[in-house]
Structures are given as C-alpha cells and as structure tokens.
C-alpha cells in the first residue's frame, strides 16, 4: 500500500492478505526521546561504555520503540485511522541499533467480520533480518 488512506478502511473493505508497512531510520535522538517519554533509562540504550560491555557490544534501541512502529502501520495505514488495538503479542528476535532502518509490516491473516475485528501478522525487519515477530488483534471502527 503506497499511500495512507484519508480515512480508515471499513470492515467490508478489508480482506485476508492485505498488507502495509512503515519504515524509518532509528536515531539515537529517537532512543533518547523514547527513554524520556517511557521512563526507561536502561543504560544499554543510553550509555555507550556500558552498552559496549554487554553481549550487544554497543547501544541498542528499546524493543518497544521498534514495536511502536507496528502501531504506526495499524493506525495510519491498515486498517488505518480509527483503529483500536485490542491485543498484541511480540517476540524480540534481534536488536535494533541507532542508524538501522527499521521496517514494520502488518498483514491481515484473519477476519472476524461479525465482531468488526481483524487479526494481523506483525513483523519488523532491519534489512532481511526479522527483529520483531508478533500478532495483533484490532477493532475496525470505520463504518
């Protein structure tokens, strides 16, 4: 899906297999802003010397910062504006580092039309590497 819809999709406009994505280069400034907003000041995200001594050998972004890109896809593209999160499971597979281009993808895997709900496979990639894997359930509010 190339462009953001002016409004969210209705449940009748959605179908299994539809997909959308959002990509952005994660900066250290993003990491620092996320730390301020979330209150998560873990030094693996903010202190280069500390982070170099960990198994990651350098700074990494908050896992939930990367996962928030999934919310961007759901709320702005598929199903789009008006979407309400009902649930999300996540598995963090690999770190995201400042400077990485992170792409979040969401693909509809199941329709629950009578409840106006959609289940989506949610994944984040850095290049070809899967870094976050999950599934979301959302409520479609557009009529």
* pLDDT tens track, the chain, 143 positions: 445 556 789 999 999 999 999 999 999 999 999 999 999 999 999 999 999 999 999 999 999 999 999 999 999 999 999 999 999 999 999 999 999 999 999 999 999 999 999 999 999 999 999 999 999 999 999 87
Residue 8's pLDDT is: 87
Main-chain phi, psi angles of 34, to 5 degrees? -65, -40
Tokens of 83: 């979407």
Per-position b or e across 49-60, b if 16+ CB within 10 A of its CB: eebeeeeeeebb
Residue 82's pLDDT is: 92
Q: How far apart are CA 61 and CA 80, in angstroms?
A: 26
For the chain, what's the residue count?
Answer: 143
Pick the CATH number of 18-139 from 3.10.129.10, 3.40.50.1000, 3.30.2130.30, 3.40.50.970: 3.10.129.10
Residue 85's pLDDT is: 96
Residue 1's pLDDT is: 46
In the chain, count of helices (H) and strands (E)? 4, 5
Put simply, whether the predicted model's pTM sits higher than 0.75 gets the answer yes
Q: Residue 55: CA atoms inside 13 Å, Cβ hemisphere, count?
A: 2
């Amino acid at each position: 899906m190339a462009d953001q819809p002016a409004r969210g999709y209705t449940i009748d406009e959605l179908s299994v297999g539809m997909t959308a994505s959002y990509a952005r280069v994660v900066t250290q400034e993003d990491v620092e802003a996320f730390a301020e907003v979330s209150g998560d000041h873990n030094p693996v995200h903010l202190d280069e010397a500390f982070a170099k001594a960990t198994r990651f050998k350098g700074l990494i972004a908050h896992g939930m910062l990367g996962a928030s890109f999934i919310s961007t896809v759901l709320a702005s593209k598929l199903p789009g504006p008006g979407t309400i999160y009902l649930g999300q499971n996540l598995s963090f597979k690999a770190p995201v580092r400042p400077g990485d281009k992170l792409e979040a993808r969401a693909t509809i895997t199941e329709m629950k039309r009578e409840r106006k709900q959609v289940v989506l496979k949610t994944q984040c990639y850095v290049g070809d590497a899967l870094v976050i894997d999950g599934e979301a359930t959302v409520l479609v509010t557009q009529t």
